[in-house]
Structure 1
């Protein structure tokens, strides 16, 4: 039997469904697939290796303002998958007659076509393993490597058709000291560079050496701090929970409500975009709306917002391709001017924070966040690392951290891909600098 590519498999199902649909029925079909290689490490040795190939459909049937959805796992066999889709169509028809009309249903009836194939060659796994083994020799490394293409597709009965393929790799690892402390790091992207990976690994190894020193205890108070990109990602990730959502802003539950109301501003250094161009994220949503680059915060002031179809229908807005949660999936923060080699010098005396975790809102309406330092947090004096710091809790406002307390952003940014593999690998990413903060409030 002829072997079909993922795109051909999807196209065949779309064509079958177009014929099977009976007017006034309408449909949308969202396709998700991956062909991934996974390798787990423990004590710098490969403990598990395997491959995953899977594909699925999210099928929505619409009729007279009513809609119902069904998730289908595909087998890769054209006849079997067509039969599954046919059974799903019949099931949704039986469900639709039992449902009320949805006043906020707003399908995109435009006839659009989008194709984006990022098929850069991925590194040979044997080469990656060899370099990891060489660099981690004698170290206690725990990590997870994932690589391969991710596929996304969309089609509707109104003629919309989208296809997206993005090849990527993501190595997420930790180096453990004999005392149980650890340094966490990652290296991810489209194009593997031995030199870039070795440089990133060396940074983690150097930090590991400092973890052997006695812990430095700090009293609660305000301290100068440098937030590495991974730490800044935790802060921005929490703010993305409704922060840029049109629905949250309209219902006045956004943690960035004051920013969007014009009652507060962030530092002019802060420029945040939903940067679809060049990212792993498809240029169309699972709802069938084209996605374009958005300016969310420009020079510290609120600009555009994430608008899904339901918010567009409810509040009279124009949908811009946001997903159901209306959160950024390709967040990009503009770089600053602080060179990496000057971070410790500019910090002077204060905290070098590699990671944060357990973040939550202590006062959501004021964008006040609380969380814990995690891994490789160091006390710095006169521009030199002195000792690791005991785990501390911070409680501070985003209007301070990213506002009047923000002194500088680094000139280099780090691409941080989602390491989540829950149900499937994700296309979400963050491209972020590090941030130098004049004061960070530690509470205990």
Structure 2
């Protein structure tokens, strides 16, 4: 049986097992993943993980309880586990109060989407990495394989999603302890594209030979590579587009959604479900659609989960429990990658940022550290690596008044998290040229 057939068999059993007054939702998560770790450009650990699990919610008279269970892949064993879970949930429900914000989707929708382009041959990938990394101190992690998501409800909803993907996250270390971090991810592995990405990292590694340049605190022109911009956008996603955060006035983008501020007209952000690794339905059972979040610098739609919909009188649009984007896409600009250093002129080339947090959440003010391969550039040429610095600046400047250009080429960044399971979250982002970035120490 395929994963989809296994899931649908469990759905049919559960529909026949519940009583007339009971209802359920059933979420399915599975993967068949290759995991390979590199150290000193050698394969140090290789393995294959195949796993599947269920999230079962039982509802009765406004009460609900959830249970997570791991599947064995044996139909009889899995049915027995599901039956035991159903009994546990029934025993739990009688102890619980009614939930005033429970708002299940009672529509009988059906969605099926399979993105299954051929995955790269693992042996060929390893050979290519070995060839390019010859003589280098490479540390990295490669993950690839299909991800499966399913959803069903007692009201007739049925969703299925399969997406094949790979993600190679690596660093090249210099003998002096500094490093260049890079990433290549997507649906279709292309040797030429990977070679270009690797060559760029190798060229940056050579600049780490130069003595570190220490800068005084102040404002500097800067280029944020897609990975660095991803850290900033990622922080804004912590409640930035959340209906609950906006209703409770705790969103870092509160001023934007209130109409009291705007971002640069170059900035357009969408939750681009179509074509992404993320399923077109939520774990709560609501279909998802493409949503414009910011258009030409102005706030548009917000992400609404079922509880926010119930509490604030809104319409749920398929947002997950955290109401954060999971398929974020930022519109490209017109700046060619080959022109980045020339247009930067004199300033900072920032490959990565880390340890970000809000220094003033209500003002969308962020602080964090430069990380890996941050370079000082003069007259369009890299001069030296820069000592680790802290920045503190507002998104209304970085993505507003100080934003000069966005690159026409965007980078797909997949979640590298493997906690419990591989994730489907992604962002598609350009690089950003900033006229001033405030360094504080």
TM range, normalised to the smaller chain? over 0.9
Correspondence 1:224-235 to 2 at 5 A: 224-235=221-232
1:282 is aligned to 279
After TM superposition, give the deviation of residue 269 of structure 1 in Å: 0.3
2:233 is aligned to 236
After TM superposition, give the deviation of residue 34 of structure 1 in Å: 0.3
Q: Secondary structure at the match of 1:9?
A: helix
TM-score by length of 1: 0.99
TM-superposition CA deviations, 1:194-240 (whole Å, max 9, x none): 00000000000000000110111100000000000000000000000
1:147 is aligned to 144
After TM superposition, give the deviation of residue 15 of structure 1 in Å: 0.4
After TM superposition, give the deviation of residue 442 of structure 1 in Å: 0.1
Q: Does 1:193 align with 2:182?
A: no
Q: Secondary structure at the match of 2:219?
A: strand
1:107 is aligned to 104
Out of 2, 7, 20, the position equivalent to 2:4 is 7
Runs ≥4 residues deviating over 3 A = none
After TM superposition, give the deviation of residue 133 of structure 1 in Å: 0.2
Query: What is the CA–CA distance in structure 1 between the aligned matches of 2:95 and 2:352, rounded to whole Å?
Result: 50
After TM superposition, give the deviation of residue 142 of structure 1 in Å: 0.1
Q: Does 1:341 align with 2:338?
A: yes
1:121 is aligned to 118
After TM superposition, give the deviation of residue 339 of structure 1 in Å: 0.2
TM-superposition CA deviations, 1:167-198 (whole Å, max 9, x none): 00000000000000000000000000000000
1:399 is aligned to 396
Query: What is the CA–CA distance in structure 1 between the aligned matches of 2:214 and 2:230, rounded to whole Å?
Result: 25
TM-superposition CA deviations, 1:103-158 (whole Å, max 9, x none): 00000000000000001000100000000000000000000000000000000000
2:49 is aligned to 52
Query: What is the CA–CA distance in structure 2 between the aligned matches of 1:123 and 1:236, rounded to whole Å?
Result: 30
- Give structure 1 stretches of 5+ with no counterpart: none
Correspondence 1:127-206 to 2 at 5 A: 127-206=124-203
Q: Secondary structure at the match of 2:161?
A: strand
Q: Does 1:24 align with 2:21?
A: yes
- Give structure 2 stretches of 5+ with no counterpart: none
Q: Secondary structure at the match of 1:86?
A: helix
2:320 is aligned to 323
Query: What is the CA–CA distance in structure 2 between the aligned matches of 1:315 and 1:24, rounded to whole Å?
Result: 27
1:254 is aligned to 251
Query: What is the CA–CA distance in structure 2 between the aligned matches of 1:14 and 1:212, rounded to whole Å?
Result: 60
Query: What is the CA–CA distance in structure 1 between the aligned matches of 2:247 and 2:47, rounded to whole Å?
Result: 46
Query: What is the CA–CA distance in structure 2 between the aligned matches of 1:385 and 1:79, rounded to whole Å?
Result: 63
1:358 is aligned to 355
2:80 is aligned to 83
RMSD of aligned alpha carbons: 0.3
Query: What is the CA–CA distance in structure 1 between the aligned matches of 2:104 and 2:48, rounded to whole Å?
Result: 36
TM-superposition CA deviations, 1:368-408 (whole Å, max 9, x none): 00000000000000000000000000000000000000000
